[in-house]
Amino acid sequence: MSPEIIQQVIADYFAATRAMNLSAWLATFAEDAISYEPETPPLEGHPALSQFFQNIAGLFEQVGLTEENIFITGNQAAVKWKGQGVGKNGKTVIFAGIDIFEVNNAGKIQKMWAYWSPAAMMAELQG
């Protein structure tokens, strides 16, 4: 797997979050992908990933993640990111995290481990 392919799938993933584009976001994942998000059981496959995306996006008028640093090794990448959003209640939130991506031979995200605090984001959004 070339670093350029991994870089592109990560760029597509983050661009889809900023566009709040569910179909573009799902297209970055393998059909049987698994995402390990904090405070939830693993999300397995497109239906579970879709529900997660819709749950988060449903809280916001506008939200997106921007990659700050990307470190690629083999078929994996660690990405430090920053999130910003405006809730349906008009509150602005800023949050951050680190995602670890494993990309398969088809250039799709096979596994993802997310390190961030949904509870802190929710507290800021509701506070």
CATH number at residue 100: 3.10.450.50
Q: What is the pTM of this model?
A: 0.95
Sign of CA dihedral 109, 119, 122, 40: positive
Range of the domain at 66: 3-126
Cβ atoms within 10 Å, residue 12: 15
pLDDT digits (tens, 9 = 90+) for 79-116: 999 999 999 999 999 999 999 999 999 999 999 999 99
Total domains present in the chain = 1
pLDDT digits (tens, 9 = 90+) for 28-68: 999 999 999 999 999 999 999 999 999 999 999 999 999 99
